[in-house]
Chain A
Amino acid sequence: MLTLYGTSFTSRLLLGTAQYPSPESLRQAVEASGAEIVTVSLRRESARARTGQGFWGLIEELGCRVLPNTAGCRTAKEAIATANMARELFGTNWIKLEVIANDDTLQPDLFGLVEAAAALSAEGFQVLPYTTEDLSAAERLVAAGCTMLMPWGAPIGSARGLINREALKTLRAYFPDIPLVIDAGIGTPSHAAEAMEMGYDAVLLNTAIAKAGDPVKMAAAFAKAVEAGRLAFEAGLIEPRDMASPSTPVAGTPFFKIDHAS
């Protein structure tokens, strides 16, 4: 079971709700993914279009736990105000905290992130911080009140997978008991499986499913990959080695002569 802020979940796949070809495709993809947590945002509401009112009905139908984000916020102040608006709108203390530093990489501004995480934790929020693999930032976030962390795999929407594997392994080893979720950059089911094999507790993704040729089929593929990766981690992976090691028994090999062994 995946436990985040005291709530347990069967699925280890968290799904974004943006960029699907249609609301129906989103609904079916969420179902096929088995996700129990979906991310949402808040955006300016036009008095004429009233776009958000219809979307809220769809989200309620999904029956998932809602995780609002602060996507697009550039400062701790913006993120704190957005988190408060999200808490009132969605009726949850959970916030996927994003403070963005740079347009090209959409990388977290770790300084603003830590500042906002501390302020929001003090206001009773349960903060799910979108961070990097940086260890000192991770320590500051934990000290600020975060009981889980969401390091990026690669820049948002880049589909490049885990581009800093060694640092992600270090982060996992450094925080053996804190739930760690790979958030962003996952492009393929094998990326997700790799993260799970490394012992990450869950993955959060959006674009890889929403923009796939068939989002519903891809959602099913990711569900299997996440489950496979988790099972493999629990089973215990073998260590890689440089040289070959025969898997078929050597003893009793036909035509075997001792000089072949040298």
Chain B
Amino acid sequence: MKILLNGEAFATDAKTLDELCARLGFAEAKIATAVNGSFVAASSRGATSLADADEIEIVAPRQGG
């Protein structure tokens, strides 16, 4: 399955958002997620199935003004 991960093409066979995050090494990381433009809470990642062409955002704290 091909998804768009943080704006870049990415191939994965992860079934859920939670699985994708874990495979990326983010299981314990300070991150937040969105799928197709909508926020997905950490507690909902396991129940969020991934589909071809999904647009996934994984973000973390950064400097800001």
Using a CB–CB distance below 8 Å, which chain A residues touch chain B? 16-20, 26, 39-47, 50-53, 55-56, 59, 68-69, 71, 77-78, 80-81, 84-86, 88-90, 156, 206-207
Q: Tell me whether A17 and B64 are in contact in the complex, defined as CB-CB below 8 angstroms, given that A44-B57, A81-B37 are known contacts.
A: yes
Q: Which residues of B contact A55 (CB under 8 A)?
A: 60-63
Interface residues on B, range: 20 to 34
Q: Which residues of B contact A41 (CB under 8 A)?
A: 61-65
CB of B47 closer than 8 Å to a CB of A = no
Q: Which residues of A contact B39 (CB under 8 A)?
A: 80-81, 84-85, 88
B24 to chain A, nearest CB (A): 4
CB of B33 closer than 8 Å to a CB of A = yes
Q: Tell me whether A69 and B62 are in contact in the complex, defined as CB-CB below 8 angstroms, given that A52-B31, A81-B37, A88-B32 are known contacts.
A: no
* Bound-state Cα–Cα, A81 to B55, Å: 13
On whether the beta carbons of A89 and B65 are closer than 8 Å, the reply is no
Q: Which of B25, B29, B30, B37 has the most CB of A within 10 A?
A: B30
Q: Which of A56, A78, A156 has the most CB of B within 10 A?
A: A56
* Bound-state Cα–Cα, A19 to B63, Å: 8
A-B contact number at CB 8 A: 107
* Bound-state Cα–Cα, A244 to B56, Å: 67
Could you give, for residues 33-44 of chain B, a 1 whenever the CB lies within 8 Å of some chain A CB and a 0 otherwise? 110011101100
Q: Which residues of B contact A20 (CB under 8 A)?
A: 63
Q: Which of B33, B58, B63 has the most CB of A within 10 A?
A: B63
Q: Which residues of A contact B62 (CB under 8 A)?
A: 40-43, 51-52, 55
* Bound-state Cα–Cα, A125 to B29, Å: 24
Show 12 residue pairs from A and B whose CB-CB distance is below 8 angstroms, ordered by the A residue.
A18-B65, A26-B63, A39-B64, A40-B63, A42-B32, A42-B59, A45-B58, A47-B25, A81-B38, A89-B31, A90-B61, A207-B65
Q: Restricting to B12-27, which residues have a CB under 8 Å from any CB of A?
A: 24-26
Partner of B30, one of A17, A53, A80: A53
Q: Which residues of A contact B42 (CB under 8 A)?
A: 88
B7 to chain A, nearest CB (A): 7
Q: Which residues of A contact B41 (CB under 8 A)?
A: 84, 88
CB of B6 closer than 8 Å to a CB of A = yes
B17 to chain A, nearest CB (A): 13
* Bound-state Cα–Cα, A11 to B34, Å: 35
On whether the beta carbons of B58 and A16 are closer than 8 Å, the reply is no
On whether the beta carbons of B65 and A71 are closer than 8 Å, the reply is yes
On whether the beta carbons of B24 and A86 are closer than 8 Å, the reply is no
Nearest CB in chain A to that of B28: its residue: A53
Q: Which of B33, B34, B57, B60 has the most CB of A within 10 A?
A: B60
Q: Which residues of A contact B25 (CB under 8 A)?
A: 47, 50
